[in-house]
Amino acid sequence: LLITLFSCDSKEDNQKRIVIGFSQSISEEDSWRKSMDNTMMVEASLHPEIDLTISNANGSTKKQINDIEKMMEHHLDVLIVAPYGSDSIVPVIEKANKKGIPVIIVDRKVNTSNYTSFLGADNVEVGHIAGKYIASMSNAHANVVEIKATTDISPSVERSLGFKQIIDQYPNIKKVSISAPNLESLNNNFSKVLDSMQRIDYVFAFNDNMALQAWEVAKRKGREKNIKFIGIDGLNDPNGGIQAVKDGKLTATILYPTGGSEAIKLAIKLANKEIVSKNNILNTTLIDSLNADIMSNQFDKISVQQSDIELQQN
């Protein structure tokens, strides 16, 4: 998929064009990625001088490298990359950096410092939020199942680390961790855990989709009402985490901003040769039944949701 958004406002014809290439790693079937793309397109359309091209690698690092190589064959003022993994993508990022193209890395980390800016939420903090919530809601006595994604992506590693740092402080919180690189393996692996553990109080999953899938598996075994499910992302669409909290399927979700609109704002600054921070951290917060209505009213349209998240620069 390649989306190109060219502005055609004649008043702006003499204004310097800003050519931005965005390489997305995961297909639009992932609603969080779709929201990131949408917020980028909305923000770009507010700036008539921007020409934004979006490519989608559908989960293949090989294709993502190829997409970026292709973008670099033409003039680029700024390159934005939402990487899939942290390692194989490094040479092409370093190549862009060496060519003098400002590079913004969004969401997942890469194993090089040869880029211009990173933009994303703090995933260790996300894990802390989940751990503290469970400790306070359970009075520090609970059986917990953590469902991780694949281990080689930074959000999975960091969310799990932050969660462990908190849970390890409470001897009466027992944690079992399982990995589920996809929804099918989640079905099998979580099903086995349900069969082997009589009492599960909380499930903390890598994202809302996985938390909801775990809820389905528990429902098939008649166990969903006795378990509290916590996810991450907090999208405000009919199938998203906020609605799932309102429906009572998820006890909580942790808002994980996509950074789509902030990435475009950063790109404009870079194209205008302004100095920007190397690390740009997006705020996160917990959403449960107490604030789900307020949060969904705030993000009243999917196309502009998460665009007002405050940016802390450090």
Residues binding ligand AHR (CB under 6 A): 26, 30, 32-33, 107-108, 155, 207, 232-233, 256
Q: How many residues does the chain have?
A: 314
**Nearest to ligand AHR by Cβ — which residue?**
207
Place of tokens 């281990």: 151
- Cα(79)–Cα(97) distance, integer angstroms: 9
Specify the amino acid at residue 300: D
| Closest to ligand AHR by CB, 43 or 208 | 208
Place of tokens 């209505």: 293
- Cα(216)–Cα(221) distance, integer angstroms: 9
| Closest to ligand AHR by CB, 33 or 249 | 33
Minimum CB separation of residue 203 from ligand AHR in Å reads: 16
Minimum CB separation of residue 108 from ligand AHR in Å reads: 5
Rg (Cα) of the chain, in Å, rounded? 20
Number of C-beta neighbours around residue 129 at 10 A: 22
| Closest to ligand AHR by CB, 241 or 268 | 241
40 contacts 261 by C-beta, under 8 angstroms: yes
> What is the DSSP code string of 183-206?
HHHHHHHHHHHHHH-S---EEEES
| Closest to ligand AHR by CB, 245 or 268 | 245
| Closest to ligand AHR by CB, 143 or 177 | 177
Of 145, 144, 124, 125, nearest in space to 135 by CA = 144
Minimum CB separation of residue 251 from ligand AHR in Å reads: 18
Minimum CB separation of residue 298 from ligand AHR in Å reads: 19
Minimum CB separation of residue 126 from ligand AHR in Å reads: 9
| Closest to ligand AHR by CB, 76 or 242 | 242
283 contacts 120 by C-beta, under 8 angstroms: no
Minimum CB separation of residue 26 from ligand AHR in Å reads: 6
Would you give the DSSP letter of residue 12? G
229 contacts 249 by C-beta, under 8 angstroms: yes
Minimum CB separation of residue 85 from ligand AHR in Å reads: 11
| Closest to ligand AHR by CB, 143 or 285 | 285
